Amino acid sequence: MSLTLNQQEFEALAVEQLVDAVLDGSQPERACLTCSFQAEDIIVLDLLRKRLPRIPVLFLETGYHFAKTYEFRDRLAVDWKLNLVNVLPEKTVAEQEAERGLLYQTDPTACCQLRKVAPLMKALEPFDVWFTGLRREQSPTRANLKKVEEHRLPSGKALLKVSPLADWAWAQVWERTGARRLSYLPLYDAGYPSIGCEPCTALPSDPGNARSGRWGGRKLECGIHTFSERAG
């Protein structure tokens, strides 16, 4: 991969310029997007699908999502003709619960590892560029997020992790959503600012912390963005 810009130059680029710079300096056919179909992901997906109509859209199919999330995913996949890839854990919900009970209650970190982190780390292996909808404002654990970072998967494979909206505020997300007339998850209208698996998503306990409703306040991350390590 022959990206010619340095970190400071990437940080100065607007989202469209950043996406173009990354794709121009890489092999576009080896790019993917992880997508939970939250508002940020839809904005990045809207940018990418105009440039790469068949970009793989990786959805972590944990088996525990809200029904409305599945409905929204399926409708958008049809409307936008997405190359949707449902990333599956090794065990079904029924198999896991038969063996370990309601792991999301007793050990949510282990549940996320089995149903999100491990499957995604494996699914990312064929790719060199990983686009995300992450923003620094979302969580203290994301405060130092860079727009472009080299990450290393547990296997040792290195790839670029690209977060074009890293420096955006929540207001900018909704401004772009409205300006582009983008569809969004109806769960936002019910007051959920951060949406994951249904058993682990509640209305925020702290109005100033969008992720305070996740995992009953016991943690802030599922582990996807902490199990892959910055390589540089």
User: Domain-by-domain residue ranges, the chain?
Assistant: 29-230
The pLDDT, as a whole number, for residue 141 is: 66
The pLDDT, as a whole number, for residue 138 is: 74
CA dist 56 and 30 (Å) reads 9
Domain 29-230, CATH homologous superfamily name and number: HUPs (3.40.50.620)
The pLDDT, as a whole number, for residue 177 is: 97
Q: Enter the pTM of the model.
A: 0.87
Annotation marks residue 200 as catalytic: no
Which amino acid is located at 147 in the chain? K
Residue 5 φ then ψ, to 5°: -90, 150
The pLDDT, as a whole number, for residue 221 is: 46
Alpha carbon distances (Å) from 112 to 10, 52, 194, 215, 217: 31, 30, 16, 10, 15
Each of the 232 residues of the chain gets a pLDDT tens digit; together they read: 446 667 788 899 999 999 999 999 778 889 999 999 999 999 999 999 999 999 999 999 999 999 999 999 999 999 999 999 999 999 999 999 999 999 999 999 999 999 999 999 999 999 999 999 999 987 676 678 899 999 899 999 999 999 999 999 999 999 999 999 999 999 999 988 889 999 998 887 666 656 555 555 554 444 455 444 444 4
Tokens of 60: 């972590």
The pLDDT, as a whole number, for residue 229 is: 45
Tokens of 232: 């540089």
Alpha carbon distances (Å) from 26 to 9, 17, 159, 160: 17, 14, 11, 10
Q: Catalytic one among 32, 35, 197, 222?
A: 222
The pLDDT, as a whole number, for residue 143 is: 77
Q: Sheet holding 129-131: strands in order across?
A: 83-87, 56-60, 31-34, 129-131, 158-162, 148-152, 229-230
